[in-house]
Amino acid sequence: IPVSAQTASPGATNLTPLEPTVPPLPNTAFELKAQVNRPLKLQDAIALALARSPQLALAQLAIERGEAGVRGAEAGLSPTASFSATSTYSQSAAARASSSGATFVNTSGTNTGGFSNSTESAPLTSQVSLNWRVYSGGLVSGQIRTAAQSLQSTRLDYERIRQDLISSIITAYYDLQTADGNLTIGAASVRSAEATLRDAQAQLTAGTGTRFAVLQANVQLANAVQQNLQFQNNQRVSQQNLARLLNFERPTEVRAEDPVARGEDWQMGLEESILQAFRQRVELNQQLALEGVARGQEEAAYGNIHPQVSLFVNGEAYDNFLDRVSGIYTGYSAGVQVTWNIFDGGAARALADQAITDAKSARVRYVDILNSVRFGVESAFSQLQTSNERIATNNTAVVSAEEGLVLARLRLEAGVGTQTDVLIADRDLTQARVNQLNSIVDYNRALAALRRALGIL
């Protein structure tokens, strides 16, 4: 499947990431206690995560760094200019001696007096240089290509991180929904077990029941309480996990406000879904961008041993501040400079070979990711279909289990049923409700996984 590596990730730079600040550590244990209880819809949780994610902020900073890298590489196409100025004050030893009244005699023995051989100056020398590399043998163009493709890869990686972040938020939210639903089911199971125990104790008191039935009801209640305690723990852990992903400034307790409901139907067939995933998954485009990076590095490596042609203009000015007649002396030079690293011991070839290997590796990873994408779509699609069938089956099972528990209680009251029948019916109803909840959440999970497999979260 041909996929252009130039495809930009939509919305990759629209979000404003967190400012890189270091939060102060709490001073007291009370500050670590959650003081805020925040109900959240799934879309609100996703929006908070996208705005506050450190991983996404790092990815955004990587994009900014890549953009600076592109600007730096493109600077190789522009001329460069430099300016330097030097002023040095100097005074000869004769000048210093003359200022103190000493008399000097030159090598011929003639008296020179106080100042004839003394020098004192503070000249100013300045130089301006312009240089423009008009031909680099592929060095500059290779560096630009490397930087541009690296930036493209970074932008695509931003989108991958964004998709993974949304997927993790959805998973954590569904985990909390599951924990909330199980806790509701567990509380109902405890209430039912308590009612069963009261009935068994009443029948024992009336002489129509047995001690064994009371013991059975006690065991059922203990099991229901034990299971409900585990459900409570799962809910706390799920709340903490979702709050962790949302990166609140203060400790916050979150609640899932959306009710557990089956998601929308999937409109595409399996093959159409796979084809769309091949076209949209940024991981595939990223490998092509990484191949482009390697090709740019190969071009730049060979450019190091090609001739480099530059145009230059140098201008200079000199003033010794003593000659009041001539003033400033100026000069200039201009020309063409050619440099050619004819032999480098094979270093450029070695770098090019490394880049070629990196390009081939990107192709191999492309094929591997292609197969992984296909499998991801197929597995999510299969799970979606299975969960949909389970929902229909479990809905029927819950209705039947509710009716079965009612009948079991009526039969017990009428004396034609047993306490064991009630216990079994109560257990079956609890399991049917758990299965119904899990099938709905599993369908929603599979729907989110299928969207992630297509890269459209």
pLDDT at 447 over 50: yes
Residues 6+ apart with CB under 8 A from 65: 154
pLDDT at 13 over 50: no
Confidence category of residue 70, pLDDT binned at 50, 70, 90: very high
Grouping H, G, I as helix, E, B as strand and the rest as coil, residue 263 is: coil
Confidence category of residue 9, pLDDT binned at 50, 70, 90: very low
Grouping H, G, I as helix, E, B as strand and the rest as coil, residue 323 is: coil
The residue-averaged pLDDT of 334-338 equals 92
Q: What is the pLDDT of residue 92?
A: 61
pLDDT at 230 over 60: yes
pLDDT at 199 over 60: yes
The residue-averaged pLDDT of 287-294 equals 95
pLDDT at 228 over 60: yes
Confidence category of residue 105, pLDDT binned at 50, 70, 90: low
Yes or no: domain 29-79+138-304+344-454 corresponds to CATH 1.20.1600.10: yes
The residue-averaged pLDDT of 208-228 equals 90
Confidence category of residue 116, pLDDT binned at 50, 70, 90: very low
pLDDT at 15 over 80: no
Ramachandran quadrant class, 455 (left: phi over 0; alpha: psi -120 to 50; beta: rest): left
The residue-averaged pLDDT of 154-165 equals 96
Q: What is the pLDDT of residue 209?
A: 80
Instruction: Write out pLDDT tens, residues 20-47.
Output: 566 677 777 766 676 777 899 999 999 9
Instruction: Write out pLDDT tens, residues 349-366.
Output: 999 999 999 999 999 999
Instruction: Kindly list the domain boundaries of the chain, sorted by start residue.
Output: 29-79+138-304+344-454, 89-122
Confidence category of residue 299, pLDDT binned at 50, 70, 90: very high
Confidence category of residue 94, pLDDT binned at 50, 70, 90: low
Evaluate whether 240 touches 24 at the Cβ level (below 8 Å). no
pLDDT at 324 over 60: no
Q: What is the pLDDT of residue 65?
A: 95
Q: What is the pLDDT of residue 1?
A: 30
Q: What is the mean pLDDT of the chain?
A: 86
DSSP state of 88: -
The residue-averaged pLDDT of 46-51 equals 94
Cβ atoms within 10 Å of 159's Cβ, excluding its own: 22
pLDDT at 93 over 80: no
Work out the angle between the directed axes of helices 419-454 and 139-206 (0-180°, nearest 10): 170
Q: What is the pLDDT of residue 24?
A: 73
Report residue 132 as tokens. Answer: 């423009």
| CA pair distance 315, 238, nearest whole angstrom | 72
Confidence category of residue 454, pLDDT binned at 50, 70, 90: very high
Smallest CA-to-CA distance from 314 within 335, 333, 328, 331 is with 333
Q: What is the pLDDT of residue 102?
A: 55
The residue-averaged pLDDT of 161-182 equals 95
**Which range, 31-40, 88-97, 386-395, is most confident?**
386-395
Q: What is the pLDDT of residue 30?
A: 65
The residue-averaged pLDDT of 307-320 equals 88
The residue-averaged pLDDT of 245-268 equals 91
Q: What is the pLDDT of residue 112?
A: 47
Cβ atoms within 10 Å of 244's Cβ, excluding its own: 11
| CA pair distance 274, 450, nearest whole angstrom | 10
Q: What is the pLDDT of residue 103?
A: 53
Ramachandran quadrant class, 128 (left: phi over 0; alpha: psi -120 to 50; beta: rest): beta
| CA pair distance 251, 30, nearest whole angstrom | 10
Residues 6+ apart with CB under 8 A from 270: 377, 378, 381
Residue with tokens 């929006």: 47
Percent of the chain surpassing pLDDT 70: 85
The residue-averaged pLDDT of 317-335 equals 75
Confidence category of residue 67, pLDDT binned at 50, 70, 90: very high
**Between residues 416 and 172, which one has the greater pLDDT?**
172
Q: What is the pLDDT of residue 122?
A: 60
Q: What is the pLDDT of residue 330?
A: 83
